[in-house]
Amino acid sequence: MQKYLIGPLTARNEMSNPSVGIVITLLRDLPEYQRLFFDAFKAEATFDNVGRARASYQRSLVASNSPFDQWYYGEDQTALGPSERSGFKIFLNKGDCVSCHTIGPDSAFFSDNKFHDIGYGWMRENLRQTPPAISKITVTSDLTLEIDQKIISSVGLPLEADLSRYEVTEKPADRGRFRTSSLRNIAITSPYMHDGGLSSLEEVIDFYDRGGGKHRLQDERIHPLNLSKKEKVDLQKFLESLTFQNLSCLIAETRGTNPDNLGAN
């Protein structure tokens, strides 16, 4: 477990530190961290203690008390409106989203933590191999540009094949399988899917509505839903009701300045 807690420190797409040793040395040299580690662990910063500290912090990030929680678990009938309630019925029944994004009797993580092939990986691999002549690039939430593929290819490296769960297990049956993501705070965590290939909840709902990637080996639960425009709106309203109401507390804890190692090789 410790390697998963330490891994982000050196991952190139996350903190990108040169080594764990450099991080440990820095933490030992900074007076404020010396005190904090001795207060918490009665010892200086070590590989294990850094992992434990990160794990303890992550366990404190509770994303409950959303309008859905107040309505479903707190029995506050005013917490959700008619549209959100209608969307919840679609989530349970017509959409069958709940079969993977599970809900428990006392709490809901909205994930079964299992790996499924919804056809998305297959669809993205087809797109990688045969990209369209013109691609839509989302610059901001309000601005999308149409860019010639030749221009994109001239300034970027070719995309590598995404082997999904197969990259870990090397089992052919795991090609195209990805872990079910939690839906907590989904309305504010765009872009979506494992590679950020869908920009909005509308695109996600449309993807499932048309039957996923339409891959012949995809999970049989993924099939065309034939949702009406109103049903799509209601489903999105329900997903928006899963947003933690005290997000400002988490935002206040985020870094407000650039990290010390920004730009380090």
For 226-254, the pLDDT digits (tens) are 999 999 999 999 999 999 877 766 666 65
Cis peptide, bond prior to residue 191, ω within 30 of zero: yes
Q: Tell me the torsion sign for CA atoms 225, 228, 232, 234.
A: negative
CA angle 257, 243, 60 (to 5 degrees): 60
Q: Please write the tens of the pLDDT for every residue from 144-179.
A: 889 998 888 888 788 888 889 998 899 999 999 999
The C-alpha angle 51, 185, 214, rounded to 5 degrees, equals 100
Contact between residue 201 and residue 187 where contact means Cβ atoms under 8 Å apart: yes
Read off the pTM: 0.74
CA distances from 35 to 25, 43, 174 (A): 15, 9, 46
